[in-house]
Amino acid sequence: MNIIQRIQSPTPTFFKKLRNIGLVLAAISTAIVTAPVALPAIATTIAGYAAVGGTLIGAVSQLTTSNNGKGGSDG
């Protein structure tokens, strides 16, 4: 299964919810990092890591597919 087929395949419900949580986490942390007010350095550092984590959660969750017993070479 190549990357295009994997993206177009249906995503299980759990990973849809996880993807949405990751996107919300990335959006909130990006808003904190780009806030026009001065925030403590620890807050912006944590928000930066949360943005990366949320983005990764969303990407991995989007690429997760349900096999449904269709077989395939990748097991």
The domain tally of the chain equals 1
Environment class of residue 31 by beta-carbon count within 10 Å: exposed (0-12), middle (13-18) or buried (19+)? exposed
- The mean pLDDT of 54-64, rounded to a whole number, is 89
Q: Is 37 part of any domain?
A: yes
User: What amino acid is encoded at 72 in this protein?
Assistant: G
Place of tokens 């349900």: 66
* Neighbour tally for 34: CB within 10 Å: 10
Q: Is 21 part of any domain?
A: yes
pTM over 0.75? The answer is no
User: Is the pLDDT confidence value at 75 over 50?
Assistant: no
Q: Is 72 part of any domain?
A: no
Provide the domain limits for residue 10: 3-63
Q: Is 68 part of any domain?
A: no
